[in-house]
């Protein structure tokens, strides 16, 4: 779901999980570039947070990412360089799989 006609690949992304668990999966922060993705990782690791997944690149949006476990038991994502979408973009369904989410 997107809140604006131009912009990133999602503002709110809904998933149906196999175990039926509900809750907040993660909060994502757009940073300027891949250097800030890695710089954020350095800072967060000094704060004692561990990596959940990353670094990587999302095939769906082309964004560089890094996910961290946070003290509230959720995930924080830093990402940069995502595809910019126009109002002509159409949503699609993807079959679940490890290569759909991340490279």
Q: Is the pLDDT of residue 1 over 60?
A: no
21-80, pLDDT tens digit by residue?
A: 777 778 888 899 999 999 999 999 999 999 999 999 988 788 999 999 988 778 899 999
**How many Cβ atoms are within 10 Å of 52's Cβ, its own excluded?**
15
Give the domains, in start order, of the chain with CATH numbers: 33-89+97-101 (3.10.180.10)
pTM of the complete model: 0.75
Q: What tokens appear for 24 in the block?
A: 């907040």
pLDDT band at 5 (very low <50, low <70, confident <90, very high): low
Half-sphere exposure of residue 72, counting CA atoms within 13 Å on the CB side?
8
């Amino acid at each position: 779901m997107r809140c604006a006609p131009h912009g990133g690949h999602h503002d709110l992304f809904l998933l149906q999980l196999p175990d039926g668990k509900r809750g907040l999966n993660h909060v994502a922060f757009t940073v300027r570039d891949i250097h800030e993705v890695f710089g954020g990782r350095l800072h967060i690791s000094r704060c004692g947070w561990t990596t959940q997944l990353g670094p990587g690149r999302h095939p769906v949006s082309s964004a560089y990412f890094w996910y961290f476990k946070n003290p509230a038991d959720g995930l924080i994502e830093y990402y940069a360089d995502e595809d910019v979408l126009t109002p002509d973009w159409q949503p699609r369904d993807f079959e679940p799989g490890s290569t759909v989410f991340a490279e």
